[in-house]
A = this chain, B = another copy of it.
Amino acid sequence: MEESNENSQFQLTDVLVESVQQLIESKDDSALHDQLSEFHYADIAEILEELNFEQSIYVIKLLDSETTSDILSELDEDLREKILENLSAKEIAEELEELDSDDAADIIAELPEERQEEVIGLIENEEHKAEIQELLNYDEDSAGGLMAKELVKVNENWTVTQCVREMRAQAENVTRVHSIYVVDNNGKLIGRLSLKDLLMAPNSAHISTVYIPKVDSVHVTEDAEEVAKVMQKYDLEAIPVVDDNQILLGRITIDDIVDVMKEEAEKDYQLAAGITQDVESSDSIIQLTRARLPWLFLGLIGGVGAALIMGDFEHMLKDYAVLFFFTPLIAAMAGNVGVQSSAIIVQGLANDDVKGSINSRLIKEMFLAALNGIILAAFLFLFVWIYKNDMYTALAISVSLVIVIIVAGLIGTFVPLFLDKRGIDPAIATGPFITTSNDIFGILIYFWIAKLILGI
């Protein structure tokens, strides 16, 4: 009892993994059980990720389902899928009995369809079964897909004594209490009773006289990202979910929202970096190729486009070869400016922070890009002038650069705003998509302007 913060000190070391592996190989079940029972289920999940597949199965079959159900929830989807394939429908059903309805529904949803029904049929607790079946009907990216059925609710007509008695019974099934929701006789959400209020309230009070009639809620079909925004804005740790008639259906807790936010951030980041699917560095080369190749192919097409454009200007090669030397610079600047502008818009849209009309945004970006472009072009002008001792060529390249940067900034600003207006995720406009189109436009504009200035 001296040193009680053992969890935060957990370290996944090679020594630890090896000792677990040795205990598995020597089939020393009681020692293995003793060692693992010291750890939090999230730590055991981390250990399993380091073991080979047979060893993981061994551990899962050894531990009781109260622990393994939580471990399964924590595991990487790939490993969980493989483990579930090796468990019988009965074994899976036993795991699910131990989980909250939302986690259980998430795991069932990952099973092949014919197995889903078999597993559900084997869940013994009828209420739990019905709750899971209900949750399976909701879209996984909606409030219904995030919510759990477990919550503490009390009727406005109860007395505090009745209420506390009922709550004690309900609380046994609820991992964390958070808020106590108050409903009317029809199950309609009419308010909440905070735990703090409960602590402060005199024991003799009546629910309808002590509850708070103001309560945030979200509709069951609300988009998960919207729920995350609401909870974050109002600093909520749980939010009740209601249907069209304001009937209380479930509640969403902040830990689910943290996961939504993290996934969202990772998805945006990966789109900006040109990776299409949700991949990790530990995934197979085939999986990683599938995530990376499409964007590279896009880049290839952009490059071929640029080459074709340059082929059209081949006649300028003899007298103005230096123009061609700066095409990678032009393409890179067009790409970078485009990515910068689109990233700022995408983030602004995610934070509901983009104010004013599209036109006013474009005008601002034009001035911004012009300012950046003129500063950069001044340096480039001096460099080319000194390097080639040809002021006209230096001027042509520099002026082109300014125009290219302005156009790139405008495209980077316009495309995500346009996609967003059309209801398409603007994050796809970042990364290789904008880079590629800006490469082509950039080089085309560059040669046009240079031709105009040099009078060819």
Residue with the greatest number of chain B CB neighbours at <10 A, chosen from A268, A273, A367: A273
On chain B, the residues within 8 Å of A255 by CB distance are: 232, 235, 237, 254
At the interface with chain B, which of A51-59, A121-129, A281-289? Answer: A281-289
| Stretch touching chain B among A24-32, A90-98, A105-113, A341-349 | A341-349
Residue of B whose beta carbon sits closest to that of A292: B340
Interchain CB contact under 8 A, B234 and A280 = no
Contact B353 A280 (CB under 8 A): yes
The residue in chain B whose Cβ has the minimal distance to the Cβ of A286 is B371
Contacts of A199 in B (CB 8 A): 164, 167-168, 171, 177
Tell me, rounded to whole Å, the shortest Cβ–Cβ distance linking A300 to chain B.
5
Q: How many whole Å from A102's CB to the nearest CB in chain B? A: 13
Given the complex, which residues of B lie within 8 Å of A235, measured CB to CB?
A: 42, 255
B residues less than 8 Å from A209 (CB atoms): none
Q: Which residues of B contact A42 (CB under 8 A)?
A: 233-235
Chain B residues in 8 Å Cβ range of A405: 296
Q: What is the total number of copies of this protein in its complex?
A: 2
Taken together as a complex, chains A and B put the C-alpha atoms of A297 and B432 apart, in Å, by 20
A190 at the interface (CB under 8 A from B): yes
Q: Are A306 and B328 in contact (CB under 8 A)?
A: yes
A230, A285, A289, A328: most-surrounded residue (chain B CB, <10 A): A328
Cβ–Cβ contact A344 & B281, under 8 A:
yes
Task: Judge whether B177 and A196 touch: CB under 8 Å.
Answer: yes
Query: Of residues 313 to 339 in A, which have CB atoms within 8 Å of B's CB atoms?
Result: 314, 317, 321-322, 324-333, 335-337, 339
Bound-complex Cα distance A275 to B336 (A)? 10
* Cβ contact of A285, chosen from B215, B217, B368, B432, cutoff 8 A: B368
Closest B residue, CB atoms, query A309: B325
Interface pair B215/A196, CB less than 8 Å apart = no
Q: What's the minimum C-beta distance from A266 to chain B, rounded to whole angstroms?
A: 6
Report which of B254, B299, B379 forms a contact with A332, defined as CB distance below 8 A: B299
Contact A272 B272 (CB under 8 A): yes
> A1-27 vs B: 1/0 string, CB under 8 Å?
101111110000000000000000000
Query: What separation, in Å, do the CA atoms of A275 and B409 have in the docked complex?
Result: 14
A150 within 8 A of B: no
In the complex the two chains form, is B343's CB within 8 Å of A329's CB? no
Are A347 and B214 neighbours in the complex by a CB distance under 8 Å?
no
Give chain A's interface secondary structure class.
Answer: helix
A233 to B371, CA, bound (A): 45
How far is A248 from B324 in the complex, measured between Cα atoms in Å?
67
> Separation in Å of the A379 CB from the closest CB of chain B?
6
How far is the CB of A378 from the nearest CB of chain B, in Å? Answer: 11
Shortest CB-to-CB span from A273 to chain B, Å, is 3
Q: A285-B364, A343-B273 are in contact. Are A176 and B191 (CB under 8 A)?
A: no
**Stretch from A79-87, A257-265, A448-456 that touches the partner:** A257-265
Residues on A close to B: CB < 8 A? 1, 3-8, 40, 42, 50, 164, 167-168, 171-172, 174, 176-177, 189-191, 195-196, 199-200, 213-218, 230, 232-235, 237, 239, 242, 246, 254-255, 257-258, 261-262, 265-266, 268-270, 272-275, 279-282, 285, 288-289, 292-293, 295-297, 299-300, 302-304, 306-308, 310-311, 314, 317, 321-322, 324-333, 335-337, 339-340, 342-345, 347-348, 351, 353-355, 361, 364, 367-368, 371-372, 375-376, 379-380, 383, 387, 405, 430-432, 435-436, 439, 443
Apart from A268-B269, A299-B329, 4 more pairs, CB < 8 Å: A270-B347, A281-B348, A285-B371, A328-B439
- Of the A-B pairs whose beta carbons lie under 8 Å apart in the complex, a sample of 17, sorted by A's number, is A40-B234, A42-B233, A164-B199, A237-B254, A254-B258, A261-B262, A272-B343, A273-B342, A281-B345, A282-B348, A285-B368, A296-B337, A300-B379, A304-B383, A306-B332, A310-B324, A331-B332
